[in-house]
Amino acid sequence: MPPPPALKKKSATKNPPMFSQEYLIQNH
């Protein structure tokens, strides 16, 4: 299940992809 576009865009824009993945794992 892909993350919402808002979260993905915010994470990709503000933080690197690695942090984005970690944030997603912790958020889920």
Cα distances (Å, whole numbers) of residue 1 to 4, 11, 26: 9, 17, 15
**What domain range includes position 4?**
1-28
Size of the chain in residues: 28
pLDDT for position 11: 52
Longest dimension (CA), the chain: 22
CA distance 21 to 5: 14
- For the segment 1-28, what is each residue's pLDDT rounded down to a tens digit? 666 665 555 555 555 555 566 666 666 5
Cα dihedral value 16, 23, 13, 9, nearest 10:
140
Number of domains in the chain: 1
pLDDT for position 4: 63
pLDDT for position 18: 56
pTM for this prediction: 0.21
